[in-house]
Structures are given as C-alpha cells and as structure tokens.
Amino acid sequence: MEWPSLPLESWRPAQPAILVLALLAGFILLLWSSSHSKGSHAGEGTKEKLPPGPFIWPMVGCLPAVGFKHRHRTFYKLSKKYGPVMQVPIGAAKLIVVHGTAMAQELLKTQDAHFSSRPLSMTGAYLGFDHADVNLTPFNSNWQATRKALSLHLLSPSKLAFQAAMRRYQVCSSVSSLFHKASIEPGTVVNVSSFADRLITNIIVRMLFGNRYRFDSNQACSSQNPAALTIYKALQDFDPDLREGIFLWGELNLADFFPVLAPLDLQGLERRFRRLRKKLENLFELIIQEHRNHPHEGEEEDDFIGMLLSQKQLSDKQLMGIMSNVLIAGIDTTARAIEWAMAELVANPEAIIKAQEELDQVVGKERLVNEMDIEGLPYLQAISKEVLRLHPSAPLDDPHLNEKPSSLGGYYIPANSIILHNLWALGQDESIWDNPTVFNPDRFLRNDEYRAMNVYGGDFRLLPFSSGRRRCPAYQFATLTLQHVVGVLLHAFDWSSSPKGTLNMEESDGIVVGLKHPLLLSVNARLSAMNAT
C-alpha cells in the first residue's frame, strides 16, 4: 500500500457520503494490507521473508504492542524477542524498526542509497511547507537544494568559525544575567530548561538573520523600518508557537497511519497544524518581504536568509521550510541535550567535581572557558559524548523510507516501508558499554579506542546525529554549542538539585525527548562576576 500523498487540499473535511465510502474502502484496504504483511513475500522473483514482529491485529496492526509512549524503550524490549529487524505495521503504514551496530551500518552506509527518502506526513505538509523543507521531504531535487543551502551557507566549518563571536556574546549575556540573580540571592532556583531554550533560540535567530532583528530585550532593534520592528516583536513572542510546533512534530498522528480517518481529525491535530502553519507563514512572509524591500539593511555575510534571497535559487516555500526546520527542530534538540547534561551532572556530583578540576587546571579562574579551550578539555568532551549516548535528542532517528523493494538483515522490505532506527538502543548495548544505564563520562577516557570515538556518524556504536546522506547537518554546531554551554555553566557556577523539588529524570514523549518536567536547579557563583564574562 502506498503511503498517502498529502497536498494541503487533501486535508479538507469530506462530505458525509464520501466519508462513509472512504471508511468502507479504507476498511477493505486495511484488511488487505494486514493480510499481505504476514509471512513471506515474493520479492523480485525470489521468495524472501518479511521480518518477524508482534501480532498484527486487523485494522490497527501492531499499535496495541507499540502504544503511544516512550516508543524507543518499547521497541528495544520488543527487539529482545524479535531481533534487530522487526516489522510493526500500524494501520496502513509499513513500519520496520531496526537496531544494533550491524543494522545501523547496513541501513546508513551499505544501503544508504536505498533508504534515504522520507515518508509524506501531515507534519511535512504543514510544517515542512508542503514538503519543501530539508527534514520532512523525500529524497528529491528539492531536498538536494535545501540541504545544500543549509550545509554550505549556515552550518559549514567556515560559517561556524564566522559565527563564533556571536555565540560567545549570547552565552556571556546569559551568564551575566544568571550571575546577577545568583549574587542577589545565593542558591537561587533556576529553570535550566527555559534558560537553555532562550539561549539556543537567541543563537539560532542570530544564525538565521544576523543582527537584522535584534532579539535581546535590552537592545534596540538594529533595523528601524516598521516591518523589522514587527518581526522583532514577533520573534520575541515566538516561544508559544515554538512549543506548539515541537508538540505537533512529535505527536503520533493517527491520520498518518489511518488515512481514512484523516477527515475526522479525531485528535484535533489538523486544526492545530492549520493554525500554526498560518502563523508561521505570516511571519516568514513578512521576513522575506522585509528583506526584499530593504535588501541592503543587514550585513549579508551573517544574514543567512538575506544571502539565500540574493542568490535567488530557492523558492519562498523552500525558504520557509528551512526556517521552520531550523527554528523548530534545531532549538529543541540542542536545548534538550543541555538540559540532560545538567540533570545527569547534578545527579552525579563527582562528575561535576572532575569537570571543574579540569577547567580550573586548563583554563584557570581568571577568565571563563571558551570554545577554543574545548580541544584541551577531554573530560568535558567525554561528558558531551556520554550525554548523547544515554539521551540522543531524537532517540528513534527521523523516519527513513525505501522507494523500491529492498532488503535489510536478510529480510524482504517492501517498497515504501517506513524505517525507524533505534539510535537510543545503541547506547544500551551491553556488548559495547559496561553498565550502559549508568552516566559515566570516564568510559570514554579508559583507553585509546574509546577516547577516539566520536559522535559524527563514522562510528556505528554511537550515532546521536545518525549517519549517511540524511545525517544531521548541524552535528558540529550542536556538539560545539553543547560543550561550550555546559563548560561555561560548570566553570562559572556550582549546581545542586533544587531544595524545592527532587531531581525527576522522567522522559517526555515525542520525536525529541527531553525531561518531562522543567529542570529546576539551585545555583551559586564560582568565579568572580568580572572573570565570568
């Protein structure tokens, strides 16, 4: 069965008669699809076996076994019974779940060319601007163009070096205000989750638009035309839309799995998608128009969107798709990694002591650690690897899709199957990691082999950014920012769990997994305020 194609028009409510017919047709198709997903399959002339998996119920498929919550953990448990390649069809969607180093290598290296597409989805239709973005778009010329623009003009090593001063400024401003709080009231309670959200939002907004729309509340907007001021204010108030985008992106949307139910909008998600898309579209249109009306307002070199507009190679929809990806996916993934790092460190105070000793020895107490110091700080690097091993921000990767019939691990994989790769399960593998559930940065320093491991996609034992054609294009930016921010927070402050609440490590739900509840920690200054900025 084909994964439904979702142009926006197809999401309009249907007439009742059409609905009844559609329900009937869907019922027959789903029964057909369930009966076809069992047993073996004649693939390209040879009789090959489909992967094993839990019982496939009529209509709903494996939904009862998979459920709605913490799917990376459920899949991991199921894989103990069914092995590294499982089929878990849900409704009309042919879901295949893979895990383990060998399968990661086969999926993302040996067979990367066959599995590099993406399924069409309601998220891609609305938040990917009709699949004109990078993340939610199938493998096609649109993806090649948007991915190239992002990798070359926003996230390349030379762009990262160019943006270093801006990142430093943003990190130091946030530290200053924390210092202010901590010096007025030692032991004050800080919401680390929203601290990370605000800081990463500020950095990413600057990466997209440079100084064009200044974001800090104590600074004037650099551009004095009225549209720029409107955009400046809209970006300041962006957080609720960002939260809504993150929620909608991560929610298991029944309409994607049961297309016949889509017109009913049973979860009320489509209404929310439609509302958010309108808001994002209004904001992004205003940004594009303001750039067109005032082409020489900003400095092109640090205004990514301005630069893409001047090149005239991407459509407005592609630009909107890129802005949507970077703002929604980029902020949450990075902020959640910082949040996990601080939670694990406070839960393991001996790691804080070791990191602070290293910082004091290598950097001293006269100035604050910066990005250039990181190379000489192996323990800080080990902390970031350990955080991404235990808590990869997107534990089930983004869904991959094969457009043609293929095979994985010796099993037949029908065309248009959706492949979920359990990145989180790699970090749980006892054959690679001693006591895998324990937070222990020292594991990365115990010998040369582990010291040399990196998270950039070349080592299939540790893949928080995945690997292959679809690997996260921001892997360098995200690791550098994680190390920089955590280094600064540990160097400048002492941290402990808030006396107002115990440390709750419960995971949130969604495609990006952070802490379920905001992380509240007590903070005391370590360096003198003058040396800390």
Which residue ranges make up the site for ligand HEM (CB under 6 A)? 134-135, 147, 150, 325-326, 329-330, 333-334, 337, 392-394, 397-398, 464-466, 470-474, 477-478
Which residues have CB under 8 Å from 392's CB, separation 6+? 423, 424, 427, 463, 464
Strands 406-408 and 85-87: unpaired
| Residue placing its CB nearer to ligand HEM in the complex, 181 or 471 | 471
The CA distance from 159 to 152, in Å, is: 8
List Cβ neighbours of 292 (8 Å cut-off, separation of 6 or more): 309
Beta carbon of residue 478, minimum distance to ligand HEM (angstroms, whole number): 3
Minimum Å gap between C-beta 187 and ligand HEM is 30
Q: Which is nearer to ligand HEM, 254 or 329 (CB)?
A: 329
Please say which residue, 71 or 147, places its beta carbon nearer to ligand HEM: 147
In whole angstroms, give the CA distance from residue 360 to residue 352. Answer: 12
H or E element in which residue 333 lies:
helix 331-347
> How distant, in Å, are the alpha carbons of 306, 356, 379, 482, 493 from that of 361?
43, 8, 12, 21, 16
**CB 426, min distance to ligand HEM, A:** 11
What is the DSSP code (8-state) at residue 376? G
* Pairing relationship of beta strands 418-421 and 95-98 according to DSSP bridges: parallel
Closest CA to 515 of 390, 360, 366: 390
Q: Which of 87, 466 has the CB closer to ligand HEM? A: 466
Nearer to ligand HEM, 84 or 124 (CB): 124
Q: Which is nearer to ligand HEM, 75 or 258 (CB)?
A: 75
Half-sphere exposure of 282 (CA within 13 A, CB side): 11
Closest approach of ligand HEM to the CB of residue 399, in Å: 8
In the complex, the smallest distance separating the C-beta of residue 472 from ligand HEM, rounded to whole angstroms, is 3
Q: How many CA atoms lie within 13 A of 371 on its CB side?
A: 20
Half-sphere exposure of 469 (CA within 13 A, CB side): 18
Closest contact distance (angstroms) between CB of 468 and ligand HEM is 7
Side-chain-side CA neighbours of residue 319 (13 Å): 24
62 known ligand binder: no
Residue whose CB is less far from ligand HEM, 223 or 325:
325
Annotated binding site for heme: 472
Q: Which residues does the annotation place in the binding site?
A: 472
